[in-house]
Structure 1
């Protein structure tokens, strides 16, 4: 096995380059869309030669799919999964926490994960593009990102909302909550209107606290 002067093997250097291309691809695709990004642009921004993109991913389409899979992999870091939601529901049923506390936990988990991590923000921006103009990889995103997230949210809302709420009502409320979260991703229009220079950690916490209270009232009180 060849070891380069800096102590990295060929395999390690290859993995590092692959990760860099995915990171660069995520940002470029989020900002410009699939058709707005060229292979040359990708290579230039990642500071690699043009053939490297093809070597690792087979081309732009392969890199785009790798980017989408990376977004899917991060899903449960900011969107609680079904198993975690079931645990919270059991805590409500045992009297350990209230429905209001469960809803606050769920909404806060999403808002903190999305607004506090720049990488996640790029992912949400790209997801918005896919929702507006689905590409060839949309079915993958729908099956492995949207469907698990919707299942978890519906499970939580069914437990939190008044007994007898219809599936249509649950889906309507869930869709509205998703819209609230997405509305504040890279929202320069909002920060300008409230006089904030940027979304600092303190501003994010203030925003989440306000929205959490209102979401609880919207969902279950």
Structure 2
């Protein structure tokens, strides 16, 4: 994004943006947040920018089970329950699973106990042979999708813990080839002699003011064919 593009989007002069970028002008807290909004900077990084500019952070980080986030937690629980009989789960910025619906439980029965210990990590669960990887038919496709998503996440907000996970689970065998139309690439899992074909969507909170909510995502899995839909309907009636 050029200085002019950013200035137009933020409704400020290009000269002021240039002075801020070169350190010749001290921006106000409001200007920092206005520019960060146009650059789609994650809330955690906006706090870092505010501190760098000499201001206090604006965004708190509350535990998901806190009173402050009780309404949000209840909303996530409703979304997960409403998605049954199909699997859905909520995870944080490190891909640690914080909530699941009942449809996820049957897939965890064969997972190694050490992988089920909290916090249960979605990347490790999906890519570790002791987890669900042994059930996934198209492991290379799934790994490529994960790789693409984590790359984008790290580009937006570098994080040491997520980088370590990437290096451990995704960097080996990296080809750099992009995946097109991720939402249409199914995850194929072989369970009980049946190949289940599913695709997923990601839901996030709109305009959150808390770091926990800003970094929380709900992944909902949908059947990609009638056989898969019938399997879930029979295994977990509404």
Bigger strand fraction: 2
TM-score (norm 1): 0.32
Bigger helix fraction: 1
